[in-house]
């Protein structure tokens, strides 16, 4: 999970994620221990997993999880200390506990429905050497999870089966003379993901090349300086040893420079070839997902013709741009809305031959479908030469359905009337037919197009026909975006929703009805801060101008103030983990050229968030002039804990108090962070893999640069001897997790380093 995703997740959701990972560790380790119950590394990993889950469950208040993990940990510790040899019955019970923990951590699952007391009793019997294993085995049987009843299919009716056709040899399918293989969509997605990451990785060679070039220049300067020294010393009497040393230095510098030049050329060639191949790989992987637009048109011309015949009409479908390449996922989702629009054009648009002849038109009506690429989008235009929309009939229907008073309806413009056609349940048919009249109309089309991050518009000319204009991304895997900076983090706005970018002077911002606006294309456009929408800290920039992205979704338009324009990028879309659900204002993630993560903004969702802030009166005002007061730096804290739940709880508590917080997943990770960055406080757990908290504190106190750094130990081990171990290692404060609450942690931090500001 990214930091932003964690910020939006609840502690219970984080506990569920941690349980999923830790139960996998338990399952793998227990199966290995079943083969050899004395493997120390698997005993250690299983014990740590149970210990972490116990702590995480206690943090989120899931007592059932604490009970189950606690007895499992006791069993594994006994095995580690040689007091117990794990038998098949023990492994069965521990695996049963693993299943119970996963069920306890599953969202919306009621732990009260699980027989936790029986499981705890079972483990108590197994830990008692005097208890007969047969008794314990009977408890395991009682705890078996109920399996769903097998599905029994009804027998086939008594019919004489037709003989199976004899297998026949078929030629391998070909396309344009090339062999075609079937590949699953998941593998294509994985290939595209890997190729995009390889492209990013090749870009990381650029700084190494720059360093090599700089080193080469330094070598050249060093050799030149030595040559100058030789010239100046030419008339001076030097010993033979001194002259030999100077000559050796000159020779070594010359040789190293030659080697450096050669290796620099090799690295440059390698970087160029790697980037070229990565780009080709990416382009090829992307092309594998692309299909010609004609693939979605199979049978459509026949459908239009047959439907016209059924309705007593003569209709022809003309198609342009059949070879336009589109992502196969987009094609699949376009089939339904296109079919609906084509049927709608035949039914509502094209007149009967008699009506057309009376209007001076050919008896045969024409529907035209055109596909093309424009600015990274697939643009579809579907038009007919029919009668167009009867606007007066739309007006009457609006009044009859009580959607608007007659006085208001009479004042509606053509564009406003046409928008009513996209409302759910709205239909101009007086009677229900097999084709239309049920009210399942253009609203369904609009919904499906919006799911593709696209838009649909309707234009019409009375007596001359209608035209639907659809814009959808060419691919759902790649999106052309403007990357901006908000709260020192990168976000991407899809270009399809950007009206323009602009720099606003303080004088450009005006107050209208108590809200901030600026003038754009003859209208006042509302101004909002991206930092408020995305819940990021407000910018402290001293720039005089305000960077604004003007976003539009149909009639809704707002200016979103950001800190900086990073630039346009083509981003490979990385879907968010399904377990996160819908993240507010965010649709997906992506990787930038340097490998850093960027979140892609869901513009439609963001506009809804703006409306919500306006309706509740919570929209914050953006300062016209940047603050001249330099804000004091925030104090930095490093939190080291191998439990995701505990880590996130502490991080959120400290962030909410204004501290700058970094996290590490174990002692080794924490030690690397301490050596590379500056912190004001270290908060660490004790029991962690690779390097525990005691080792970490000991290393820190031996380091001359870090030995004065305040250290707080937060651990579930609250015995006096454990407290003494932590303090003897050099910790300044010891806090027991078993009894700690929000204020206890924060009060201890303030006691050690003071408030959040320096």
pLDDT tens track for 321-347: 988 888 888 888 888 889 999 998 998
Phi/psi at 609 (5° precision): -65, -40
| Predicted confidence (pLDDT) at residue 195 exceeds the cutoff of 50 | yes
* More confident: 107 or 665: 665
From residue 67, how far is each of 16, 111, 222, 597 by CA, in Å? Answer: 16, 12, 69, 39
Q: Which H, E and C letters describe 627-677, residue by residue?
A: CCCCCCCECEEEEECCCHHHHHHHHHHHHHCCCEEEEECCHHHHHHHHHHC
Q: What is 371-427 written as a DSSP string?
A: EEEETTEEEEEEEE-S----HHHHHHHHHHTTSS-HHHHHH--HHHHHHGGGSTT--
H or E stretch at 325: strand 325-327
Tens digit of each residue's pLDDT (9 = 90 or more) over 373-401: 876 678 999 999 998 888 888 888 888 88
Identify the pLDDT of residue 626. 42
- Distance, CA of 673 to CA of 661 (rounded, Å): 12
Tokens at 668, concatenated = 């080794």
| Predicted confidence (pLDDT) at residue 212 exceeds the cutoff of 90 | no
- Distance, CA of 749 to CA of 745 (rounded, Å): 6
Phi/psi at 318 (5° precision): -110, 135
Could you say which DSSP state residue 517 is in?
A: E
What global pTM score does this model have?
Answer: 0.44
Identify the pLDDT of residue 354. 94
Identify the pLDDT of residue 632. 60
pLDDT band with cut points at 50, 70 and 90 for residue 512: low
Burial of 169 (C-beta count, 10 Å sphere; 0-12/13-18/19+):
exposed
Tokens at 641, concatenated = 């804990």
Q: How far apart are the first and last CA of the chain?
A: 30
Identify the pLDDT of residue 463. 77
Nearest to 626 by CA among 702, 682, 543: 543
- Distance, CA of 700 to CA of 703 (rounded, Å): 5
Nearest to 634 by CA among 670, 671, 673, 662: 662
pLDDT > 90 fraction of the chain, expressed in percent and rounded: 15
Phi/psi at 99 (5° precision): -65, -40
* Averaged confidence pLDDT in the chain: 79
* More confident: 135 or 209: 209
| Predicted confidence (pLDDT) at residue 353 exceeds the cutoff of 90 | yes
Find the mean pLDDT for residues 609-614.
80
Domains of the chain: 3-143 (1.20.120.160), 203-290 (1.20.58), 298-473 (3.30.565.10), 479-616 (2.40.50.180), 636-753 (3.40.50.2300)
Identify the pLDDT of residue 173. 44
Q: 3-state class of 40 per DSSP?
A: helix
> Which residues, listed in sequence order, are joined to residue 479 by a DSSP beta bridge?
571
């Amino acid at each position: 999970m990214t930091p932003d995703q964690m910020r939006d997740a609840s502690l219970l959701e984080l506990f569920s994620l941690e349980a999923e990972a830790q139960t996998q560790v338990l399952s793998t380790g227990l199966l290995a221990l079943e083969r050899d119950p004395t493997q120390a590394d698997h005993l250690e990993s299983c014990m740590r997993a149970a210990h972490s889950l116990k702590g995480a469950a206690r943090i989120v208040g899931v007592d059932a999880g604490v009970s189950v993990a606690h007895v499992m940990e006791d069993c594994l510790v006994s095995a580690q200390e040689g007091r117990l040899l794990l038998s098949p019955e023990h492994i069965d019970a521990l695996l049963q506990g693993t299943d119970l923990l996963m069920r306890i951590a599953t969202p919306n699952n009621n732990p009260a429905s699980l027989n936790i007391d029986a499981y705890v009793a079972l483990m108590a019997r197994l830990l008692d050497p005097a208890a007969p294993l047969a008794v314990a085995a009977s408890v395991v049987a009682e705890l078996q999870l109920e399996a769903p009843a097998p599905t029994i299919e009804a027998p086939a009716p008594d019919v004489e089966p037709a003989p199976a056709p004899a297998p026949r040899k078929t030629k391998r399918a070909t396309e344009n003379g090339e062999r075609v293989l079937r590949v699953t969509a998941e593998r294509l997605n994985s290939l595209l993901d890997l190729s995009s990451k390889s492209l990013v990785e090749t870009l990381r060679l650029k700084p190494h090349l720059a360093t090599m070039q700089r080193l080469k220049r330094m070598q050249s300067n060093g050799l030149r300086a030595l040559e100058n020294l030789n010239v100046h010393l030419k008339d001076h009497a030097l010993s033979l040893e001194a002259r030999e040393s100077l000559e050796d230095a000159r020779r070594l510098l010359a040789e190293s420079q030659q080697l450096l030049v050669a290796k620099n050329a090799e690295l440059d060639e390698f970087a160029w070839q790697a980037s070229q191949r990565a780009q080709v790989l990416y382009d090829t992987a992307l092309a594998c997902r692309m299909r010609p637009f004609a693939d979605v048109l199979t049978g459509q011309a026949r459908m239009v013709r047959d439907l016209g015949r059924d309705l007593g009409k003569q209709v022809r479908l003309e198609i342009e741009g059949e070879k336009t390449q589109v992502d196969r996922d987009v094609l699949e989702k376009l089939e339904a809305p296109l079919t609906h629009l084509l049927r709608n054009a035949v039914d509502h648009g094209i007149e009967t031959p008699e009506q057309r002849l009376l209007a001076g038109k050919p008896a045969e009506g024409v529907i035209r479908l055109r596909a093309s690429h424009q600015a990274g989008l697939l643009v579809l235009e579907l038009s007919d030469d029919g009668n167009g929309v009867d606007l007066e009939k739309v007006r009457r229907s609006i009044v009859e359905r009580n959607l608007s008073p007659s006085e208001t309806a009479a004042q509606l413009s053509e564009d406003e009337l046409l928008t009513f056609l996209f409302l759910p349940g709205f239909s101009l048919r007086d009677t229900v037919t097999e084709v239309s009249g049920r009210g399942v109309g253009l609203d369904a089309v609009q919904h499906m197009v919006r799911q593709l991050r696209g838009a649909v518009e309707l234009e019409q000319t009375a007596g001359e026909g209608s035209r639907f204009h659809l814009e959808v991304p060419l691919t759902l895997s790649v999106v052309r975006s403007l990357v901006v900076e908000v709260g020192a983090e990168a976000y991407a706005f899809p270009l399809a929703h950007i009206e323009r970018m602009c720099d606003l002077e303080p004088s450009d911002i005006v107050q209208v009805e108590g809200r901030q606006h600026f003038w754009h294309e003859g209208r006042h456009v509302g101004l909002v801060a991206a930092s408020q929408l995305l819940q990021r800290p407000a910018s402290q920039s001293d720039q005089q101008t305000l960077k604004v992205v003007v976003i539009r979704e149909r009639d809704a338009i707002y200016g979103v103030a950001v800190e900086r324009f990073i630039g346009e990028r083509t981003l490979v879309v990385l879907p968010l983990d399904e377990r996160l659900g819908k993240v507010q204002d965010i649709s997906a993630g992506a990787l930038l050229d340097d490998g850093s993560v960027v979140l892609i903004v869901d513009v439609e969702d963001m506009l809804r968030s703006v409306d919500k802030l306006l309706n509740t009166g919570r929209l914050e005002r953006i300062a016209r002039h940047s603050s001249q007061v330099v804000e004091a730096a925030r104090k930095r804290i490093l939190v080291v804990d191998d439990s995701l739940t505990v880590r996130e709880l502490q991080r959120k508590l400290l962030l909410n108090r204004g501290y700058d917080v970094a996290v590490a997943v174990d002692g080794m990770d924490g030690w690397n962070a301490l050596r590379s960055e500056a912190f004001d406080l270290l908060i660490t757990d004790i029991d962690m893999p690779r390097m525990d908290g005691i080792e970490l504190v000991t290393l820190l106190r031996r380091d001359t640069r870090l030995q004065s750094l305040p250290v707080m130990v937060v651990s579930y081990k609250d015995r006096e001897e454990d407290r003494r171990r932590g303090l003897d290692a050099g910790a300044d404060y010891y806090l027991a997790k078993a009894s700690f609450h929000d204020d206890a942690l924060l009060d201890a931090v303030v006691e050690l380093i003071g408030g959040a500001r320096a």
